[in-house]
Structure 1
Amino acid sequence: MPTIPAGSRRLVLSLNAGSTSLKAALRDPALRLHVDIAGLDRDEASVTVDGTGAPAERALLHGGWPAAVPEIADAVARRGLRPALVAHRIVHGSALLPAARRADDALLSRLHAEEALDPLHLPRQLAVAEEARACWPDAAVVLVPDGGFHARLPHEAVALPLPAGARAAGLRRRGSHGLAVQSVVDTLPGMASGVVVHLGSGCSVTAVEGGAPRSTTTTLSPAGGVPSLTRSGDLDPEVVLRLVDADGGSVAGVRELLTRRSGVAGLSGGRTDVRELLAADDGAADLALRVFVRDVAMAVAGAVTTLDGWDTLVFTGGIGVHSAEIRERVCARLLSLRPGTARQPGIPSERLAATGLRVLAVAVDEEAVMDRLTRAAVPG
């Protein structure tokens, strides 16, 4: 685990805005407070507040996203704490943000001008940043790109097979879930050659060699790569063009279809709870899971080809950590990659482990990575 210099004892508040949740962690750099607000797309969101040495507080929150940052500010104020820096996770892969950096009005304004490039994430995450500035006007604002870990991808892993003009306009592989993968690297410093399988509301597969990325499945946004719960994953470009044509040329309408009604949801009839799908007894649920597991396993197999060896397979994300059944189904499809598994007893993960491959489920801490990157970006 990377160390924090003793002189960096400032209070840093990391705000991690997802599609329907907002997580907050306040560190000095030891964890002082953690707040998790889930279900912000519903009438009632659930709030969990954990403070060091105190029982967790649970409550319901009404008002959706506008009420989320004030709820966190209230939890911080009740403990007499005030952050010196407030860090924000930014999903949008912008040339303006190759690494964590302090944000001033000019940078925030330029990022606002790019909202049309990532309408699903950037407006929400910048709105959270603006709300946080109102709550803590004296705190420095730091933006942390989620894809920053992927900045060291080899050139052949970054370059898209497009003409030079398109590539010069910024169309390249940027990757997603970089903070989660960095958390795995921090947690498993002995991992030499690993594949990190992030399975949650968004999904990706990343190959890591010596702590650096070698390949990753997503390109410009979490919508690409392997299918996710509501996102299509990679598609033949002609499929997208035909969808746009069928929708009367509406890019916005097709974007909504591909990011909110596709993936597992598109195959299962709108269902996204993996536990429900595993318990279901119908063809649509079965097909959704078979496509999902197959595509994830194929992505793992492809990632292995970019490594010099393969010693670790790591599952992260809500599904990756909490669904043993999905892990085993993916592992079952990987047995042919490890000679000797046919002679081994046990479930698929145990058979892989018998060949010397570590198979792990690791809960990541993106906010801890944000904290470390923020302190490095703004020394003090």
Structure 2
Amino acid sequence: MKTEIKELVAEGKLDEALDRLVAYLESQIDQFSPLYRAARVAQSEFNQSKEKELQGILSEDQIRLSNNLAINRILEILEQLERRPSPTPSTAMRNKWLWYAAGGAGAVLAVFFIWKVFTPNQNVEPEQPLTPTDSTLVVEKPPFPCPSFDEEAEYSIAIFNFTTLDPKDSIADKFLVEEIDAIFLRNRFNGDATLVEKINVSVDAAVAKSMIKNCRAKMIIWGRVFETHEIDLNFYAPSINNEQQDALDSELQFREQGNFQASIKQAALIIASRVLVMNKASGAVAVSEEAYEKTVKKSTTTTSAKTKPKSSESMATMTLANAHASRKDYKKSIQYYDELLRKNTKDTVARKNLAIVQIKVNDVASATKTIDTLRQYKKVEDPVFLDKAGDALQEKGWTRKGAELKRDAKQAIQDQKVVPKILPKE
């Protein structure tokens, strides 16, 4: 049965494949009730899309996306059937399938089948200082109901409807939700991306912060699709928006003209990899490498090595460096931090992380030089970083230099009137 359904998918007979799948699951409904409901939802949505296609309502992009989503759902359900050790699914997967049945589908991308049908032939923690400017935002309850997240999710992302001028681009935000959830599922990470629809509110950092405080969201994403299909994404997360001036941590720009789906896939890889790295999840390095390959390496053929990288390229590189550092592969992490600094010497986040890694590999001379250079660029001392670097130096036996940095950290606290609790002890 499963082989027959896969053959139907490969032949592009999605309606027949869904009919077979629903019929099979219905015959086993006591054992596979959640999967049956998920299949019925997929079938219903696919049939609705086909009706709109016949009426001439859908664009080619919308038709392609509808078919791709149907393929993804079919193959993910088949995968669940194949790998289930018993009739009772795990709590996490059961909750995820119930979420699907409620109408929000996340799927593992079936690249081979999509191609066949639709184409012609640390122990290092990345530096996470708080931002005094950010903390001054007025936090109020959001002026709309909180979205419903999976209660079992370890990390929840709220994605607002994108601003668009072309109605056919209105599916971009839903596509991003699907792509992020697919990556989480593929890497067995219990994350949940949810679309916040039809909210007549201008989203900014203050609204995002209120959602994080009141709605269990850990990341907020909003964006705009331009007439050329270029995309700008803004996002907010306490552990990401470290410094307001770091554009790479607040905005992603994608310039795949005429191909917004390629841009959305890049965005999903970058965002999901960042989440996986922050949560020390399995697959973090692999997803980060994929994001780097598709975002950075792809652009090197047309971009000078001395050109300041786009925000998306910077984030992909930073995330890969942090991923290697978290796995104690310090040599590779240094390679990517250096790459960032060659393109932007004033990237203070990369310089901070590089200094900590250099200390970890006992290259204290280089670390000291990196720290001194950083302090020249920074207009205001960062007490969190200075304290952390001081601890790392003392652990390596450089007690004098370490004590000096820790004294400077305490002085910075007094000068800036920063609350002492921002100096965490690891």
TM above 0.5, yes or no, is: no
What is the TM-score when the length of structure 1 is the normalising length? Answer: 0.30
Q: TM-score, normalised by structure 2?
A: 0.28
Larger radius of gyration: 2
| More strand as a share of residues | 1
Larger helix fraction of residues:
2
